[in-house]
Amino acid sequence: MRTNVIRVLATAVLMAVLGASAALAATPPPAGDAKPVEKSRKDLTPMPEGWTALRQEEAIKQAHKQYPFVEDVLMEDLPLRQQRLRNMGIGYKDIKQSYILLDSPYVDTYEKQYDPVRFMHSKHAASLDGDCAACHHYRPADPNAPETVSCRSCHQDTRTDANTERIGLKAAYHMQCMNCHEQMKKGPVNCVGCHTKRSVDHKELVRLPENPKPQEVTAECLRCHQEAGDDMLATAHWLWRGPSPYTTEHRKSVMSGKGTTTLNNF
């Protein structure tokens, strides 16, 4: 009986924590992706409620900007292009955004299910020693066009018989992002590393009295998430128990852990 109460209490704490980071909750990769979920920094920095990233509005606007299709491109050897960009002094100062949302209308097919891909532009350029040509591989033939043009101005529709010259935007991103991450063994290559699932807005779903008791919160979550609650109670995370090497007087003789009556559930 007592353990049951403790379990309910601990569930409430866990669910409250989950609630606070619901938007960031790690989601399992879609079926077919066998790679294990990588640890990401996101989990360590749950966002306060109502928080939005700096310049989020601006980033959303830019993500949805339509670009005119660039017909002619100047082909240039990558090392040559890198050298030329360096000679021209193109570098970090030309990067206005620290991050870019990649949420182009040219590719969105499941935009209601997944958040836009957040791409840390400055951080990438820094990790790659300012080598802009690593990603900005061609420039438009028009001499007045900026040196580093958005990928979307050249990669738009999927490759068709009529447009065999270059791959579509989704493929261009996936190929460039994932190939490099694979080669450098850095950065995510699994789907959820870049695509976070959009969570349902719980503001309207959850109904609680003012200053609810922890048990009331748990009960309210379980109203819809009974299965998740049951699953949790069967996990090793919940059931673990073991000897207690550091407990004074009872050293090693007492079993501690969540599977016992330990109150310290975190």
- Report the site for ligand HEC in 79-138 (rule: CB under 6 A): 90-92, 94-95, 100, 102-104, 107-111, 114, 117, 119-121, 123-125, 127-128, 130-132, 134-138
Using CB under 6 A, count the residues that bind ligand HEC.
Answer: 86
Give the span between the Cα atoms of 193 and 177, in whole angstroms: 12
Comparison of 71 and 247: residue with beta carbon closer to ligand HEC: 71
Q: How far is CA 193 from CA 27, 87, 145, 158, 169, in A?
A: 10, 35, 33, 24, 19
Long-range contacts of 6-10 (CB under 8 A, 24+ apart): 6/261, 6/263, 6/265, 7/233, 7/238, 8/215, 8/218, 9/214, 9/215, 9/218, 9/265, 10/258, 10/265
Give the nearest distance from C-beta 148 to ligand HEC in angstroms: 4
* Binding residues for ligand HEC restricted to 7-46, rule: CB under 6 A: 15, 18-19, 22, 25, 27, 30, 33
* Binding residues for ligand HEC restricted to 43-72, rule: CB under 6 A: 70
Give the nearest distance from C-beta 39 to ligand HEC in angstroms: 11
Comparison of 14 and 256: residue with beta carbon closer to ligand HEC: 14
Residue 13's Cβ-count burial label (10 Å; 0-12, 13-18, 19+) is middle
* Binding residues for ligand HEC restricted to 148-167, rule: CB under 6 A: 148-155, 165-167
Binding characters for ligand HEC, 175-204, by CB under 6 A (x = yes) = xxxx-xx--x-xxxx-x-xxx-x-xx-x--
Two structure tokens written together for 190: 């699994």
Distance of CA 109 to the CA centre of its chain: 18
Comparison of 5 and 208: residue with beta carbon closer to ligand HEC: 208
* Binding residues for ligand HEC restricted to 226-255, rule: CB under 6 A: none
